[in-house]
Structure 1
Amino acid sequence: MSMTPPPGWYPDPNQPAVERWWDGSAWTEHRRTPEHPQVAPVRQGFGPPDPAASAVIAPASSGGGRAKIIALATAGAVLVAAIVTGVVVLGKDDGEPRGGAAPSTSAEASPTPTASESKSASPTSDPNVLVDDLNGITLPVIDGWEKAEDTVHDAPTLQTPDTFDCPGDSGMCRHGRVTSQTVTSTDETSPKALARGDIADAAKSVYGKDVLDNEYYGRITGHEKVAEGTVAVAGRSGYYVRWRVRTEKASGGYVQSVAFKSSIGSEPMVIVRLSVNVAKGAPPLSDLERIIKGIRSTDDSATGGGVGEDVGATP
């Protein structure tokens, strides 16, 4: 039975002292320094064996010339076998990532993560915390919210548990949603610029057309900015923008984009999108503040957050 390793942090095949994020099918550019570096080499199964690691050292004494010849012959055989294996593995073109970065598809060749790696690769069992390993943050699951099991593009998501018939096109809607994602479409590193640039897309992702042109709330008829400013998120300086969105069907709701820099690995920029409807049964707007305030870094659970309104809005 063939299988690939699950998403998680594994030793980088090109830099063993650094951990790199494997998304389940390919290596990403996210790297971090492991909390407990490994001293002994670990069998990864991510490419050909290293010939140097298989070298056999001949005994310094005893056995005379015949013993030396046997030792050298053994070392030579091991070296040749390693080189042949490397050529065969590198010569295969089966669509996997190149450069030795792709894990083997056989169960025997799959990596065996260490205890720390297993912890990073597996979701937390704490029902009160949603872990985003890729971006190095955790989000609080406050009262009236739950972790989403099936999400678009596997983005870590919080949602309100109850569903209702969408007021526009046929479908099931929810009153609130929160997602986190890495910024990949731009090299911009200013939280202010990122939050301002993302808010329109955040509004469309909730109240606009989906990929099948469904408009669950009818079309967006307008919006107004109701708040904007600096905010502390997981101990990092960030920026938020909040819109009140109006829709053709129903009353629309509030959408918020929060941008900040992660504290792990290559410190990628992160966007957290939050939304709540304006409707009976919807969570209070203050829930968005509570969730942002409760975001923590995965490498420091004691790190505090902050609420945008506590900092003050900016024109």
Structure 2
Amino acid sequence: MTPPPGWYRDPKHPHLERWWDGTAWTEHRREPAVVGPTPVPAVPGRPPGGEASGRAKVIALTTAGVVLVAAIVTGAFVLRDDGGAEDSTTVTESITPTFAPTSQTPTPTPSESTSEPSADDPAVVEDQLNGITVPLLDGWVRPQYIVDDDVLMSTDGTYDCPGDPGVCRHGLVISRTVTSNDETSPESLAKADISDAADDAYDRDLVGKRPFGGIESHEVVKSGPVAVAGRAGYFVRWRVKTAKGPGGYVQSLAFQSSVGTESPVVVRYVFDAGEDGPPLADMDRITKGIRSSGDANGGGVGSSIGPTD
């Protein structure tokens, strides 16, 4: 009951003719080819250009009614190319609405940087004296209101010490140049420093107070050689138990500096134990990220050198 393809009066522009392809209107229009009686608008189920039979009229009206109801239920409006809305009472237009294709410019995907962090990177802390940079991991900040000038960074925030009154921090990373002796062996330096590192962190502070009530015992957790900033190093890690509080972990990492007189460097790690302390894996992550200042290729745990229990 659909009209055959041909030129019929344009439902939207009655003074023009529009091409009906047998199923839908196309965008082809033209001036009327002949001057004569006004043609009857084309509607599916009604042959264009003449009156339909009684049966055809019934079918046409029924079809138009069904389409009209469907159009009302689905919104009664279709989009125009100009972004507005059009009444769907023109049945032939609402049956198969067309939409202008839209083009979208894809958002450029930012490329990941493969360059090493520099000393100016906000996620890096620089120790200019010893010529190294240390990664500033999440949860760590540059030292604030800390008397010890050797502290490179600390965990964010403070808490009341469980022993003597005072303010404590859950984690510290400290860098020191070894000048007290002529020892150059990283292993000897790390083993000699670990006891002092534990006492300074968990036994007595600079003013003689005991913020954790003193050290009751300790045990060696890990120790072994490790490559630091492209140079051979050695570390010792203790688990310390204190009279008050959960105690913590202390690590001494020794290696040769690559600047100046190349004096040995000892980096101390102080991590509180317990759920409030920083992840113990941060010790290894920080060690792996130590670089010589201005050297993008140095540092990191060596592929053939690793810690031993």
The TM tier, using the shorter chain, reads: 0.5 to 0.7
Q: CA deviation at 1:150?
A: 4.2
Question: Is 2:240 the partner of 1:245?
Answer: yes
Name the structure, 1 or 2, with higher relative contact order (CA <8 Å, separation 6+): 1
The equivalences for 1:134-173 within 5 A come to 134-173=129-168
Q: CA deviation at 1:310?
A: 6.9
Q: For the aligned residues, what is the CA RMSD?
A: 2.1
Q: CA deviation at 1:211?
A: 2.5
Larger radius of gyration: 2
CA contact (8 A) 1:240 1:308 kept: no
Q: CA deviation at 1:308?
A: 11
CA offsets 1:164-199 (integer angstroms, 9 cap, x no match): 111000011111000111001111000000000000
CA distance in 1, matches of 2:307, 2:234: 11
CA offsets 1:224-274 (integer angstroms, 9 cap, x no match): 001110001011000000000000001101000000001112111000000
CA distance in 1, matches of 2:270, 2:303: 15
Give the residue type in structure 1 aligned to 2:150.
A
CA offsets 1:73-122 (integer angstroms, 9 cap, x no match): xxxxxxxxxxxxxxxxxxxxxxxxxxxxxxxxxxxxxxxxxxxxxxxxxx
Aligned match of 2:207:
212
The equivalences for 1:1-315 within 5 A come to 125-306=120-301, 311-313=306-308
Q: CA deviation at 1:126?
A: 2.9
CA contact (8 A) 2:231 2:299 kept: no
Find the residue that maps to 1:203 and give its secondary structure.
helix
Give the residue type in structure 1 aligned to 2:134.
L
CA offsets 1:125-169 (integer angstroms, 9 cap, x no match): 532111111100000000111110444442142100121111000
CA contact (8 A) 2:234 2:253 kept: yes
Structure 1 unmatched ranges of 5 or more: 1-122
- CA gap of 1:151–1:165, structure 2 versus 1, over 3 A, is closer
Give the residue type in structure 1 aligned to 2:160.
D
Give the residue type in structure 2 aligned to 1:284.
P
Give the residue type in structure 1 aligned to 2:165.
S
CA distance in 1, matches of 2:167, 2:120: 28
Q: CA deviation at 1:302?
A: 2.4
CA distance in 2, matches of 1:309, 1:272: 22
Structure 2 unmatched ranges of 5 or more: 1-117
Find the residue that maps to 1:179 and give its secondary structure.
strand
TM-score (norm 1): 0.58
- CA gap of 1:209–1:253, structure 2 versus 1, over 3 A, is same
Which structure features the higher share of helix residues? 1
- CA gap of 1:252–1:205, structure 2 versus 1, over 3 A, is same
Aligned match of 1:40:
none
Aligned match of 2:8:
none
Q: CA deviation at 1:312?
A: 3.5
CA contact (8 A) 1:130 1:156 kept: no
CA distance in 1, matches of 2:304, 2:249: 15
Give the residue type in structure 2 aligned to 1:205.
D
CA contact (8 A) 1:289 1:308 kept: no
CA contact (8 A) 1:160 1:175 kept: yes
CA contact (8 A) 1:132 1:156 kept: no
CA contact (8 A) 1:131 1:156 kept: no
TM-score (norm 2): 0.59
CA contact (8 A) 1:207 1:219 kept: yes
Q: Percent identity?
A: 51
Give the residue type in structure 2 aligned to 1:264.
V
CA distance in 1, matches of 2:304, 2:250: 15
CA distance in 2, matches of 1:309, 1:284: 25
CA distance in 1, matches of 2:179, 2:147: 16
Find the residue that maps to 1:154 and give its secondary structure.
coil
